[in-house]
């Protein structure tokens, strides 16, 4: 960028926001032939899109709110996404322990209905109701890959070993894991390969609306330089900042708003040895997950709490940490303690504000509004990571009103970078990588395949010995991999690599994390 410069070119679509919605829309639009520029003021996936519970799921508990369309769309979408990214997403089984004292959130429509007709339940969530919900979960999704629900005898199954003895029975169902921040980066990479210009660390200062175009004033936060871009249409995918962008950056009046809901998670050393997840129900009617994480840890979350404003950095408060360890300890035989926590993270979900009485009850539906009074503006409110691709398709339907005769939908089943192999082919792919690079440890092979898929060979290149990969930073991190992410994945700091492109910050001490950061900064400035 050069100070006070103004581009004479005009792009079709300018997207504000480098989270999953912005990158998903950019990919879809570029694949249909539109010229696209995307600006993100921080790193890709630096906010909500790297702070999820890491699941592609239908949202079992949303059935209690009668969100049937949303649940069905998400359930069907799970398998579409699995086929497109088998390296960063995979099937998981979820164990839902049952006890007679399970309770509803008494504010849900289902609870109110049952209380009206069956007052003797007094807010209990009976086994038959859970099984009915799981039957719907299985049938709404039109499963092809994922197995259906089964009943588990916890007195015999290994899933019962870490739990308190009062839990005798459980239901087991399917959902999927996803590496959320990598999902964003892979969408951005695919969008770039189709012609999108991706600008990270680039702030939109303001945008001026004209009859037939937008003038967008940008600042490169690395250099301080400014320039003006022009676009025929603007997409506001600002996530938690969507309302602020609309009013403050774009100068538009709107009654549409988002409800900011903070979801916090804790990570502790591995609490059990098997590879299944737990779905725990609380006496307050809420639920949390306990999920195997990064091989040696367990992820526990999430909370639902209203968040004041997007500029307040979300953190897992002491109260939320206490809530999560207490919740989990109501199930595990060995109590979880605050002292076990090795990492916490929090994200702010920008839910469409439908006036719900509680954060848990706020709708997870997305809302897209198109304003064509002058140069067209599309605003993206809400959404969830599982339905990001469907949201992008819905956005393109709106965009098609401005750019008629766009090609048809195309993203379903089209692999993201590194995902061009069968869902069941991960083991075979890992074996081939180990054969081609026999000096890699088994852990390094698993990690590289799960991060890069078929592109792991591009990362490692012509290396024949460990020394060919350059400096070893620990936890299987090498200079060659860092260089590759700098060149291909917009990595500009240690935090980008250690906590978003990977979660290897969990495996390094402060000195080693500092060394990674210094190396990246030196490569960027050098």
For residue range 262-305, what is the model confidence (pLDDT) as tens digits?
A: 999 999 999 999 999 999 988 777 899 999 999 999 999 999 89
For the chain, how far is it from start to end, CA to CA, in angstroms? 19
Q: Which residues pair with 103 in a beta bridge?
A: 124
- Binned at pLDDT 50, 70 and 90, residue 6 comes out as low
> Do 259 and 359 touch, CB atoms closer than 8 A?
yes
Mean pLDDT over 363-391 rounds to 92
> Do 468 and 444 touch, CB atoms closer than 8 A?
no
Mean pLDDT over 337-342 rounds to 98
Q: At what angle do helices 388-399 and 68-84 cross, to 10 degrees?
A: 100
- Binned at pLDDT 50, 70 and 90, residue 94 comes out as very high
Q: Which helix (H) or strand (E) holds 322?
A: helix 318-329
Proportion of the chain above pLDDT 70, given as a percent: 91
* pTM of the full structure: 0.93
More confident residue, 259 or 211: 211
> Do 50 and 20 touch, CB atoms closer than 8 A?
no
Write out pLDDT tens, residues 316-333. Answer: 999 999 999 999 999 999
Q: Name every residue whose Cβ is closer than 8 Å to that of residue 425 and which is 6 or more positions away in sequence.
A: 86
pLDDT at 108: 57
Write out pLDDT tens, residues 454-468. Answer: 999 999 999 999 999
Mean pLDDT over 229-235 rounds to 98
- CA dihedral (191, 495, 45, 291) in degrees, to 10, reads 120
pLDDT of 115 higher than 50: no
Q: What are phi and psi of 171, to 5 degrees?
A: -110, 145
> Do 6 and 227 touch, CB atoms closer than 8 A?
yes
pLDDT at 385: 93
Proportion of the chain above pLDDT 90, given as a percent: 78
Instruction: Return mean pLDDT, the chain.
Output: 91
CA distances from 179 to 205, 357, 367 (A): 31, 31, 25
pLDDT at 484: 98
CA distances from 245 to 250, 254, 313 (A): 6, 11, 17
pLDDT at 7: 56
- Binned at pLDDT 50, 70 and 90, residue 203 comes out as very high
Cα–Cα distance measured from residue 462 to residue 268, given in angstroms and rounded to the nearest whole number? 38
Hey, what are 166's tokens?
Answer: 């009062």
pLDDT at 283: 77
Q: Name every residue whose Cβ is closer than 8 Å to that of residue 397 and which is 6 or more positions away in sequence.
A: none
Domains and CATH numbers, the chain: 5-48+182-255+364-399 (3.50.50.60), 90-177+259-352 (3.30.9.10), 423-525 (1.10.8.870)
Tell me the three state secondary structure of residue 204.
strand
pLDDT at 2: 43
> Do 278 and 286 touch, CB atoms closer than 8 A?
no
pLDDT of 172 higher than 50: yes
pLDDT at 170: 96
Of the listed ranges 4-13, 91-100, 202-211, 293-302, the one predicted with least confidence: 4-13
Of the listed ranges 7-11, 244-248, 380-384, 522-526, the one predicted with least confidence: 7-11
């Amino acid at each position: 960028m050069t100070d006070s410069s103004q581009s004479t070119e005009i792009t079709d679509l300018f997207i504000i926001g480098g989270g999953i919605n912005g990158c998903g829309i950019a990919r879809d639009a570029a694949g249909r032939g539109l010229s696209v520029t995307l600006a993100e003021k921080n790193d890709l996936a630096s906010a909500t899109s790297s702070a999820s519970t890491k699941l592609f799921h239908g949202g079992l508990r949303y059935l209690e709110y009668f969100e049937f369309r949303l649940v069905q769309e998400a359930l069907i979408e799970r398998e579409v996404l699995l086929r497109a990214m088998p390296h960063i997403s995979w099937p998981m089984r979820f164990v839902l322990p049952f006890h007679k004292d399970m309770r509803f959130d008494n504010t849900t429509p289902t609870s109110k209905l049952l209380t009206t007709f069956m007052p003797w339940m007094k807010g209990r969530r009976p086994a038959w109701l859970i099984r009915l919900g799981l039957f719907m979960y299985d049938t709404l999704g039109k499963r092809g890959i994922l197995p259906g629900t089964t009943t588990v005898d916890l007195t015999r199954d290994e899933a019962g070993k870490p739990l308190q003895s009062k839990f005798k029975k459980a239901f087991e169902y399917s959902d999927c894991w996803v590496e959320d921040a990598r999902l964003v980066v892979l969408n951005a990479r695919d969008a770039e390969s189709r012609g999108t210009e991706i600008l990270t660390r680039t702030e939109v200062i303001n945008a001026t609306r004209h009859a037939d175009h937008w003038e967008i004033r940008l600042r490169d936060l690395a250099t301080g330089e400014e320039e003006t871009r022009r676009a025929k249409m603007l997409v506001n995918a600002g996530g938690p900042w969507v309302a602020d962008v609309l009013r403050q950056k774009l100068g538009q009046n709107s009654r549409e708003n988002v409800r900011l809901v903070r979801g916090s998670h804790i990570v502790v050393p591995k609490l059990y040895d098997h590879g299944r997840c737990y779905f725990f129900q609380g006496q307050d009617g809420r639920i949390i997950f306990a999920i195997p994480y990064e091989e040696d840890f367990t992820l526990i979350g999430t909370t639902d709490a209203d968040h004041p404003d997007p500029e307040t950095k979300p953190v897992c408060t002491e109260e939320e940490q206490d809530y999560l360890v207490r919740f989990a300890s109501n199930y595990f035989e060995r109590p979880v303690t605050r002292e076990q926590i090795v990492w916490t993270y929090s994200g702010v979900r920008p839910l469409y504000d439908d006036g719900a009485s509680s954060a848990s009850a706020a709708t997870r539906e997305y809302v897209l509004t198109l304003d064509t009074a002058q140069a067209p503006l599309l605003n993206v409110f809400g959404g969830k990571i599982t339905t990001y691709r469907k949201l992008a398709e819905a956005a393109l339907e709106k965009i098609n009103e401005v750019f008629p005769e766009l090609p048809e939908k195309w993203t379903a089943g089209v692999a993201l970078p590194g995902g061009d192999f069968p869902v069941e082919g991960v083991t075979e792919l890992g074996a081939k990588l180990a054969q081609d690079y026999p000096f890699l440890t088994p852990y390094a092979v698993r990690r590289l395949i799960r991060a890069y898929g078929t592109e792991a060979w591009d990362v490692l290149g012509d290396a024949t010995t460990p020394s060919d990969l350059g400096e070893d930073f620990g936890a299987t991190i090498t200079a060659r991999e860092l260089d590759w992410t700098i060149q291909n994945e917009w990595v500009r700091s240690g935090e980008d690599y250690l906590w978003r492109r990977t979660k290897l910050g969990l495996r390094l001490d402060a000195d080693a994390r500092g060394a990674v950061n210094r190396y990246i900064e030196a490569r960027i400035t050098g």
